[in-house]
Amino acid sequence: MSQRLPDASEESLNIVRRRILAITWVVTAIHGLFGAIGAAYALGPDRRGDQIILLTVSVPLAIIIYGVTVVILDKPVLGRWTTPWLVLLLAICAAGFVWVL
């Protein structure tokens, strides 16, 4: 027989589940972002056009990572606690541009 949790406990459990899913998503997806930047670096300066394309692709990847994470956590898209994470992801892309180009 299963017992039903009180509403407060059930809501707390859902928050924990969302956070674990968000952490798992970010850790997995961030590899794609770093992979695009690393691949651009690995191509070398003789393939500058391909480097620029990969670095340009890293920006939508960062926005997708941010968007999916905000949806998983059920937070506002632009808020006091969420916007700095978007800025951080875009700063990683900007650092990639500086590092590669």
First to last CA, the chain: 62
Question: Where are the domains positioned within the chain?
Answer: 8-100
Per-residue confidence (pLDDT) for residue 2, from 0 to 100: 60
Per-residue confidence (pLDDT) for residue 16, from 0 to 100: 95
Q: What is residue 5's DSSP assignment?
A: P
Per-residue confidence (pLDDT) for residue 101, from 0 to 100: 85
Per-residue confidence (pLDDT) for residue 34, from 0 to 100: 96
Per-residue pLDDT of the chain (101 residues; tens, 9 = 90+): 566 666 778 888 999 999 999 999 999 999 999 999 999 999 999 999 999 999 999 999 999 999 999 999 999 999 999 999 999 999 999 999 999 98
Per-residue confidence (pLDDT) for residue 92, from 0 to 100: 95
